[in-house]
């Protein structure tokens, strides 16, 4: 908490006391009956209508809004004159189509290329499927042959070879036995010298040859059983395994080739479809360059409807040949019925007064002497963006009013005035708005009491910018002053009351602080002095003009204070308010 210079605080307190004395004096004068004079008004009871008027535009209730659906920005090459009554199917607007025609030609070429690639991939898929089937069939046939070869060897060739080996052994053994018998007889005949030695030796040689053939046949069988059979069996089994793996590889490769071909076909199909969609989109865009009337009606340009509103902010270029329009831009309003609405812009200060269903009286500038009745149908939840853009401080809310009945003389775009009925009383007390002023935030009127006027606090209701509804405080036939003293309202306000309380509280705090400072012990007094020195250094760093002003108030004599008091009383209410504001800022800022 800041420790203020004692001399400076006393100075400010004296000035504040002077202001409070002056204010109290003036308040006392206000409460006392005064010899005021001026025009008067006799309070009377009668019907009272509280309303306010806003401007707007007549809009068709049932209308078709035609928008530009061509992408990007396009030039208008033809537009039907505004105000023309058209039949269903008549041409309203034609947009430039040259760029779209070029796009169409380019897109047709793209479609043809995409179609060729699509057909190629489609045929390629069939070729790949056929080749895959052929490869798989060949691999399956090879496997079948390998299995047959294995079975043939086990059940056929090997058994035949084994049988041949056994037969060879048996045959050679027979030959050997015969050779042995022949040799035996040859030896006996040789002993009898019936045969020659040469013949004997030949029989011996035949016997030895037959014996060796038996041994060879036995060895061949052994080789067949122990080596040749095992080798051939392993070979045929290996052929079967290789054929099975080859079949698996062929199937996988065939499947992969088919999947690849299908993927390429799918991609080309999608590309072909996309190119056709783009072509269809271009053709659709070309078709949208001509806008036809969907129903019978009166042609109203959207730019005209927007530019004839009761507020500023719409500045659309009128429709005409050569004008550039953007996508989704509103071009034409085509009313299809005779019922109308009013679109008005309500200031934010009136929002608390209006609600859905309130009665409204509509007058049209172009139709003098006619009045239309309607009700509020909707109020926009947010202020109008265009009016905010033109003036950020202006908040207008678009409000739609439904007009009762149908009138062919009402046309879209007509300017109108809407009187919104907020409250309607059959019997009510009211006074002119200028007769009521606020004193201390309380509505007050000056009522005639004998030959003078006295201030009287009343309770006020709504007003219609001319008269205000008085709900309590006045009675019928009371006479009130039409030009109450504005000085009374300016001297005492709620803000000044709070300021006076703050000054009074500040004076009490100053007295308490001074009393405490006089009775503090030396240690506390030393701490206070340290704080004062610190605060003094801080004040030296502040603005020099503020320091000089504070010193002047601190050194002010009683005569000077009295002079200031008289000067304050002679000020106008505006000058007094400024002076009070200045003193308040000085007191709150500690300067």
Given a contact cutoff of 8 angstroms between Cβ atoms, the answer to whether 289 and 97 are in contact is yes
438 within a domain of the structure (yes/no): no
Q: Output the domain CATH number for residue 332.
A: 2.40.50.100
What is the side-by-side strand order in the sheet with 290-292?
Answer: 290-292, 91-95, 73-79, 324-326
My answer on whether 283 and 293 are in the same domain is no
125 within a domain of the structure (yes/no): yes
Residue among 200, 202, 207, 201 nearest 175 (CA) = 207
My answer on whether 191 and 239 are in the same domain is yes
Q: What are the average pLDDT values for consecutive 10-residue runs of the chain, which has 591 residues? A: 41 50 45 60 84 86 88 92 89 93 93 94 91 90 88 84 84 83 78 77 82 84 83 87 91 92 93 94 93 88 66 62 91 84 89 88 88 92 83 88 86 86 84 85 86 86 82 85 72 43 38 33 39 47 43 53 69 69 58 39
Rounded CA separation 400/56 (Å): 10
My answer on whether 294 and 280 are in the same domain is no
What pLDDT does residue 376 have?
93
What pLDDT does residue 488 have?
60
What pLDDT does residue 409 have?
81
516 within a domain of the structure (yes/no): yes
* CA distances, 208 to each of 170, 176, 476 (Å): 16, 8, 170
Given a contact cutoff of 8 angstroms between Cβ atoms, the answer to whether 361 and 386 are in contact is no
My answer on whether 144 and 17 are in the same domain is no
What pLDDT does residue 36 have?
64
258 within a domain of the structure (yes/no): yes
My answer on whether 532 and 554 are in the same domain is yes
Given a contact cutoff of 8 angstroms between Cβ atoms, the answer to whether 413 and 308 are in contact is yes
Q: Output the domain CATH number for residue 268.
A: 1.10.287
392 within a domain of the structure (yes/no): no
My answer on whether 126 and 219 are in the same domain is yes
Rounded CA separation 552/381 (Å): 55
Q: Helix crossing, 573-589 with 494-518: angle to 10°?
A: 40
What pLDDT does residue 585 have?
60
My answer on whether 139 and 273 are in the same domain is yes
Q: Helix crossing, 229-287 with 158-191: angle to 10°?
A: 160
Number of domains present in the structure of the chain: 3
Token pair in block for residue 42: 């006799």
DSSP assignment of 160-206, as one string? HHHHHHHHHHHHHHHHHHHHHHHHHHHHHHHHTTSS-HHHHHHHHHH
Rounded CA separation 374/376 (Å): 7
My answer on whether 80 and 113 are in the same domain is no
396 within a domain of the structure (yes/no): no
What pLDDT does residue 560 have?
64
Residue among 320, 313, 322, 399 nearest 353 (CA) = 399
My answer on whether 514 and 532 are in the same domain is yes
230 within a domain of the structure (yes/no): yes
Give the structural domain span for 575: 1-34+494-591
My answer on whether 245 and 121 are in the same domain is yes
* CA distances, 76 to each of 33, 295, 315, 547 (Å): 77, 22, 19, 72
Q: Label each residue of 318-365 as H, E or C.
A: CCCCCCEEECCCEEEEEECCCCEEEEEEEEHHHCCCCCCCCEEEEEEC
My answer on whether 106 and 172 are in the same domain is yes
42 within a domain of the structure (yes/no): no
What pLDDT does residue 546 have?
44
My answer on whether 174 and 146 are in the same domain is yes
Rounded CA separation 266/260 (Å): 10
Rounded CA separation 559/49 (Å): 57
Given a contact cutoff of 8 angstroms between Cβ atoms, the answer to whether 59 and 398 are in contact is no
Rounded CA separation 173/131 (Å): 60
């Amino acid at each position: 908490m800041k420790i203020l210079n004692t001399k400076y605080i006393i100075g400010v307190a004296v000035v504040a006391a002077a202001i409070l004395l002056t204010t109290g004096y003036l308040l006392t004068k206000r409460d006392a009956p005064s010899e005021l004079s001026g025009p008067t008004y006799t309070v009377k009871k009668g019907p009272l209508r509280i309303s306010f008027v806003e401007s707007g535009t007549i809009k068709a209730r049932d209308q078709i809004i035609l928008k530009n659906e061509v992408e990007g920005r396009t030039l208008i090459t033809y537009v039907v004159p505004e105000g023309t009554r058209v039949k269903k199917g008549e041409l309203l607007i034609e947009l430039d189509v040259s760029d779209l025609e070029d796009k169409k030609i380019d897109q047709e070429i793209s479609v043809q290329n995409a179609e060729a690639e699509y057909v190629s991939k489609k045929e390629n898929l069939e070729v790949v499927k056929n080749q895959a089937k052929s490869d798989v069939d060949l691999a399956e046939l090879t496997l079948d042959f390998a299995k047959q070869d294995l079975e043939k060897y086990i059940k056929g060739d090997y058994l035949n070879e084994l049988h041949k080996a056994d037969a060879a052994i048996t045959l050679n053994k027979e030959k050997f036995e015969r050779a042995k018998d022949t040799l035996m007889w040859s030896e006996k005949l040789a002993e009898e010298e019936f045969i020659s030695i040469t013949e004997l030796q030949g029989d011996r040689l035949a016997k030895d040859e037959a014996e060796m053939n038996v041994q060879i046949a036995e060895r061949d069988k052994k080789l067949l059983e122990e080596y040749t059979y095992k080798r051939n069996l392993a070979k045929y089994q290996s052929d079967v395994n290789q054929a099975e793996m080859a079949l698996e590889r062929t199937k996988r490769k065939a499947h992969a080739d088919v999947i690849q071909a299908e993927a390429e076909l799918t991609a080309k199909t999608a590309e072909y479809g996309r190119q056709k969609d783009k072509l269809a989109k271009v053709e659709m865009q070309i078709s949208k360059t001509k806008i036809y009337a969907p129903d019978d009606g009166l042609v109203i340009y959207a730019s005209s409807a927007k530019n004839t509103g009761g507020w500023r902010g719409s500045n659309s270029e009128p429709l005409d040949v050569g004008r550039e329009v953007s996508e989704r831009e509103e071009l034409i309003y085509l009313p299809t019925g005779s019922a109308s609405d009013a679109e008005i812009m309500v200031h934010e200060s009136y929002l608390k007064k209006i609600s859905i269903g309130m009665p409204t009286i509509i007058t049209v500038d172009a139709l003098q002497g006619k009045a239309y009745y309607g009700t509020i149908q909707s109020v926009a939840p947010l202020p109008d963006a265009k009016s905010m853009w033109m003036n950020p401080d202006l908040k207008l809310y678009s409000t739609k009013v439904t007009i009762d009945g149908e009138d062919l003389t009402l046309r879209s775009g007509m300017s109108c005035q809407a009187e919104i009925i907020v409250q309607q009383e059959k019997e009510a007390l009211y006074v002119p708005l200028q007769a009521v002023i606020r004193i201390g935030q309380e509505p007050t009127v000056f009522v005639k009491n004998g030959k003078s006027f006295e201030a009287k606090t009343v309770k006020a209701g709504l007003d219609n910018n001319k008269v205000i509804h008085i709900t309590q405080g006045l009675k019928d036939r009371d006479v009130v002053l039409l030009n109450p003293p504005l000085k009374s309202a300016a001297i005492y306000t709620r803000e000044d009351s709070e300021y006076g309380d703050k000054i009074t509280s500040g004076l009490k705090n100053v007295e308490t602080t001074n009393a405490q400072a006089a009775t503090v012990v030396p240690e506390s007094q030393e701490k206070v002095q340290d704080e004062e020195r610190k605060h003094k250094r801080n004040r030296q760093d502040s603005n020099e003009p503020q320091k000089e002003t504070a010193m002047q108030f601190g050194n002010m004599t009683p005569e000077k204070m009295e002079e200031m008091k008289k000067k304050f009383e002679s000020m106008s209410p505006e000058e007094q308010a400024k002076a009070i504001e200045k003193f308040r800022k000085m007191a709150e800022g500690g300067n």
